[in-house]
Chains A and B, each alone.
Chain A
Amino acid sequence: MSEELVTLTIDGVTVRTAPGTLLVEAAAQAGILIPVYCYHPKLAPVGACRMCLVEVEGAPKLIASCTTPVREGMVVYTDNQRVKKAREGILEFLLVHHPLDCPVCDKGGECPLQDFTYQFGPSRSRFRYPKRHWDKPLQIGPNILLDRERCIMCFRCVRFCEEISHHRQLGVFRRGNNQEIGTFPGQPFDSRFAGNTIELCPVGALTGAPTRFFGRTWEVGHTPSVCTGCSTGCNIRVDTRHGSEVVRLWSRENPATDDGWLCDPGRFGYGFVNEGRLEEPLVESGGQSVSATWQQAIARAGAVLEQHAKAGTLGILASPRMTSEELFSVSKLARTVLKVPHLDHTARYVHPAAVDLRAFAASAGFTPGTLRDIQDARQIITIGVDLSREQPVTDLRVKKAVTQRGAHLVVVDAEELELSAFSRHTVLWQPGDEAATVMSLANAVASPSEANGMRAVGELLRQEGPKVVLLGWRIGESPDAGRIGESLAALAQALGPGTRCVTILRHCNSRGALDLGIYPAEDPVSGRGMSGEEMLRAACEGRIRALWLVGEEPLQDADPGLVRRAMDNLEALVFQGWSLPSWLERVPDAALPSTTFAEMDGTFTNTHGRVQRIFRAIRPKGKSRPGWDIVNDLAQALGHPFESRTVEAVFEEMCAATPAYRGLAWNALGVAGRESQADSAAAAAAAAQG
């Protein structure tokens, strides 16, 4: 090892650790617990709570181990009489004004203040005066409740807002006995990362408004899963009650995707699991939806699919929020049983060359990258993507790279974005002028003499170091995508080989839908299928007369006027999903209730190609069933039963049939997932080229 290790003694245990390590971290490495409140591995040390006091030989007073780096030959005591007395004193002070309303507190049961008081604290208080009281709870933002009585002033929330989210909406007000955490006048705590402070808060001072009184912590079950909000694939822990209701989502750190944080839309966006569900199969009868048995609904749906598939008038739209197993089953039924080439995962316009955005970027000469590449990048370029809105947790990753490691950010978009505040340069394009703008950027990088106002950007991007380009899905929806592709090729050339490109897709399994070929492709028998948008136009003209809609997202994303006209013209509609879309005006011939992510096992593939497992957390609502199971029944009804009868078997079959997933094994995915092969193969090929 090139770096000299520092040797020190903690409680008689010899510890060798890297210089610069904090004492509290060195103790943790040696398996010695030092109680902490203000210390957090992802936040800068502050030494506010004094809970981590330890005795160091030679130091006249006890010192805070969370702010002290290790020194050669240090002799540290973490549990001698002096330290124990100090801890008792600190806890007694922390509890002076603490209301001890643990029975009604959402944190009760998972509260470090409770735990450490039991473990290290005095059993009684000598404070004989009335406690300080404040109004509670105070709603300081749409999702956050503040209880100032419970606060122990560790400032984790304030530091998170300053150091991580950079939404400076919390502050510390007044001094001494009256010190309090609060918001600034007229500015609610409405940051889209506010929910993380609930997890950071070591007491019950910050709690979630939507999850208030979700049940006591020991009553909820925990199941690992993956957030379905956007395509980042943040790992989550689904907290459930009675095995029948999702009550809370919690972060589950995975450095490959989420880096330990969640955004509020994801954290609190689980309502669709519990409410508004399609709970039983419905069939159309006399212009009305009436409840039916699964047999009746499957028979009806099968008849519609068969009739229109034979006539060549069936279109299939499958949502990229469905699991890969469900999408694979739909695609298998479409291609092998129904023999329908018209299969897509969105009904928006997508340029044919840019359907698979990763392949589009790779053909321009970029190496496919992963979200993790952002943290090692020297230069980060976002093109046509507002990360703050589309992938909030990736936005945190970019902010971290810029503020903590000094990476350079260049934002290329139609307008100033939130991230522009962190960028060295923002390159603006006029709508319709994207290709030219990217081309001039490429020229500015390629040749220093180019004087088109981009000289400074060019110089910045010519610097050495790993570079990452983040490319948004809107690029693929531009009619001009072909020319943008040429500009991107020039940019890839100018940035040099090995420049990584992470494509930012829209939905949690958009990547999976692309890997599984849920888009119009050249079919050897029936020619090229229609895209989702073409299907809707064909429906308006009567060439598509029936639609099998698996999940509402493909149409939700599309032009509402076109959707309405297409829907009016359709003869038959088979809907499969977890709730009937609110915008759906016509009565579907058959509605098949499928389960949400919380009620089934399966996999999602995140935006850069990481295949991650979801686990069943609650019982399926009503009569709903996993989509792949429904498709199995449809296949049976159509006289071509599928062999794979379990989700594991479907997964194995899918991996065998899909080049990107070759080599993946169900049991080897674990709770953190695996990168799919496409990336590593492409990366290796590009590396060999470069």
Chain B
Amino acid sequence: MFVEFVKGLGITLRQVFRKPTTVNYPEEKRPPSARARWRHKLLRHEDGLERCIGCSLCAGACPAHCINVVAADNTDEDRKSPGERYAAVYEINMLRCIFCGYCEDACPTGAIVLGPDYELADFDRASFIYGKDRLLVPEPGEVARVKKRLEEREIG
């Protein structure tokens, strides 16, 4: 009986000297899996135009009915996306979303994708309705500019 007791404590003792499996979130973060499907993004074409054409197929595919799209006409003076139609309003209710990825499957232009960003907590319900201001990725040029600025800061 004593032998078993020592054996058991031995396991405990061995764990004490092992590297811990947990991380100090939020100071430390583990890289998400390559297949992680969290916060949505609306992508742009390389020329900066929005990929989304406001067709609402994502909303049609959504089993949780959490997407609302209102389409409008593109004009040559104010062109948001290639073609005739763009999404004037694109909203996802993150509280309702079940992160199934059907929207991504349904999208004919590859505009809506689910990304690895999982930190979605917020303080009130209204702020869980993500509009285009938060979903749309910055313009490609802007991405490069931000990158450059960061690099300069690190060097300087």
Q: Which residues of A contact B (CB under 8 A)?
A: 101, 103-104, 108, 136-137, 212-213, 215-216, 218-219, 242
- Within 8 Å of chain A (Cβ to Cβ): is B84? yes
B60 A219 Cβ-Cβ under 8 A: yes
Which A residues touch B59, using CB under 8 A?
Answer: 216, 219
Given A104-B53, A242-B68, list of 13 further CB < 8 A pairs?
A: A101-B83, A103-B53, A103-B57, A103-B108, A104-B71, A104-B85, A137-B84, A213-B85, A215-B70, A216-B55, A216-B56, A216-B57, A216-B60
| Interfacial chain B residues near A137, Cβ < 8 Å | 84
- Flag if A103 contacts B55 (CB, 8 Å): yes
- Given the contacts A215-B56, A216-B55, A216-B56, A104 and B73 also touching, CB distance less than 8 Å: no
Which B residues are CB-close (under 8 A) to A242? Answer: 68
Cβ of A218: which chain B residues have Cβ within 8 Å of it? 60
B residues within 8 Å of A by Cβ? Answer: 53-57, 59-60, 68, 70-73, 83-85, 108-109
Contact partners of A104 in chain B: CB under 8 A: 53-55, 71, 83-85
Instruction: Identify the closest chain B residue to A137 (Cβ).
Output: B84
Q: List residues of chain A with CB within 8 A of the CB of B53.
A: 103-104
CA distance A242 to B109 in the complex (A): 25
Give the chain A neighbours of B60 by CB distance below 8 A: 216, 218-219
Q: What is the number of contacts between chain A and chain B, taking CB atoms within 8 Å? A: 35
Nearest CB of B to A683, in Å? 51
Chain A neighbourhood of B70, CB < 8 A: 215
| Residues of the A chain whose Cβ atoms lie less than 8 Å from the Cβ of B55 | 103-104, 108, 216
Shortest Cβ gap from B76 to chain A (Å): 12
Bound CA–CA A643/B132 (angstroms): 51
Query: Roughly how many angstroms separate A136 CA and B85 CA in the complex, as a whole number?
Result: 12
Please state if B72 and A213 are interface contacts (CB–CB under 8 Å).
Answer: yes
- Residues on A with C-beta less than 8 A from B72 are 213
Q: Which residue on B lies nearest to A242, using beta carbons? A: B68
| Shortest Cβ gap from A206 to chain B (Å) | 15
User: Can you list 26 pairs linking A and B with CB atoms under 8 Å apart?
Assistant: A103-B53, A103-B55, A104-B53, A104-B54, A104-B55, A104-B71, A104-B83, A104-B84, A104-B85, A108-B55, A137-B84, A213-B54, A213-B72, A213-B73, A213-B85, A215-B70, A215-B71, A216-B56, A216-B57, A216-B59, A216-B60, A218-B60, A219-B56, A219-B59, A219-B60, A242-B68
CB pair B83–A213 under 8 Å, yes or no, is no
| Of the residues B56, B71, B84, contact of A136 by C-beta under 8 Å | B84
Q: How distant is the Cα of A466 from the Cα of B117 in the complex, in angstroms?
A: 77
Interface of A (DSSP majority class): loop
Q: Which residues of B contact A212 (CB under 8 A)?
A: 73
- Distance (whole angstroms) from the CB of A134 to the closest CB of chain B: 13
Instruction: Give A216 Cβ to nearest chain B Cβ, in Å.
Output: 4
For B109, list chain A residues within 8 Å (CB). 103
CA gap between A137 and B71 in the complex, in Å: 16
CA distance A565 to B140 in the complex (A): 65
Task: Give A363 to B155 CA distance when docked, in angstroms.
Answer: 100
In the complex, which residue of chain A has the Cβ closest to the Cβ of B55? Answer: A103
Give complex CA distance A215, B59 in Å.
Answer: 11
Smallest Cβ-Cβ distance to A104: which chain B residue: B85
CA distance A213 to B81 in the complex (A): 15
A242 to B89, CA, bound (A): 14
A364 to B2, CA, bound (A): 120
* Residue among A101, A104, A242 with the highest chain B CB neighbour number at 10 A: A104
Give the complex CA separation of A216 and B67 in angstroms.
13
B84 to chain A: which residues have CB within 8 Å? Answer: 104, 136-137
| Chain B residues near A136 (CB-CB < 8 A) | 84
CA distance A216 to B57 in the complex (A): 9
User: What's the least CB distance linking B52 to chain A, in Å?
Assistant: 10
Minimum C-beta distance from A172 to chain B (A)? 25
A104-B54 Cα distance, complex, nearest whole Å: 7
Chain A residue numbers with a CB within 8 Å of B83 are: 101, 104
Docked CA distance A137–B75 (Å):
12
Nearest 7 A/B pairs, CB to CB: A103-B55, A213-B71, A104-B85, A216-B56, A103-B108, A104-B53, A104-B55
For A108, the closest partner residue in chain B by CB is B55
Q: How far is the CA of A256 from the CA of B50 in the complex (A)?
A: 50
A104 CA / B73 CA spacing, docked (Å): 10
- State the Cβ distance, A241 to closest chain B Cβ, in Å: 9
User: In the complex, what's the smallest C-beta–C-beta distance from B68 to chain A, in angstroms?
Assistant: 8
CA of A1 to CA of B109 in the docked complex: distance in angstroms? 60
Residue of B nearest to A103 (CB): B55
CA distance A219 to B71 in the complex (A): 13
A212 to B54, CA, bound (A): 13
Contacts of A108 in B (CB 8 A): 55
Q: How far is the CA of A601 from the CA of B60 in the complex (A)?
A: 30
Q: Closest Cβ of chain B: how far from A147's Cβ, in Å?
A: 9
Q: State how many angstroms separate the Cβ of B129 from the closest Cβ of chain A.
A: 14
**How many angstroms between the C-alpha atoms of A629 and B53 in the bound complex?**
44
Expressed in whole angstroms, the Cα–Cα distance for A242 and B108 within the complex equals 24
Shortest distance from the beta carbon of B19 to any chain A beta carbon, whole Å? 51
Q: How far is the CB of B110 from chain A (nearest CB, A)?
A: 12
- Which A residues are CB-close (under 8 A) to B85? 104, 213
Nearest-neighbour CB distance to chain B for A430, whole angstroms, equals 51
CB distance from B85 to the nearest CB of A (A): 4
Q: How far is the CB of A584 from chain B (nearest CB, A)?
A: 33
B88 to chain A, nearest CB (A): 9
Question: When chains A and B are docked, how far (Å) is the Cα of A602 from the Cα of B97?
Answer: 39
- Separation in Å of the B75 CB from the closest CB of chain A? 12
Q: Which residue of A lies closest to B71 (CB)?
A: A213
Instruction: List residues of chain B with CB within 8 A of the CB of A103.
Output: 53, 55, 57, 108-109
Contacts of B68 in A (CB 8 A): 242
User: What's the least CB distance linking B64 to chain A, in Å?
Assistant: 15
A103 to chain B, nearest CB (A): 3
Which A-chain residue is minimally distant from B56 (CB atoms)? A216
- A436 CB, nearest partner CB in chain B, Å: 57
Distance, CA A215 to CA B57, complexed state (A): 11
**Cα separation A220 to B146 with both chains bound (whole Å):** 42
Chain A neighbourhood of B57, CB < 8 A: 103, 216
Q: How many angstroms between the C-alpha atoms of A215 and B69 in the bound complex?
A: 8
B108: nearest chain-A partner, CB-CB: A103
**Chain B nearest Cβ from A207, distance in angstroms:** 11
Residue of B53, B54, B55, B60 contacting most chain A CB atoms (<10 Å): B55
Most interface-central of A212, A213, A242 (chain B CB within 10 A): A213
- A149: min CB distance to chain B, Å: 11
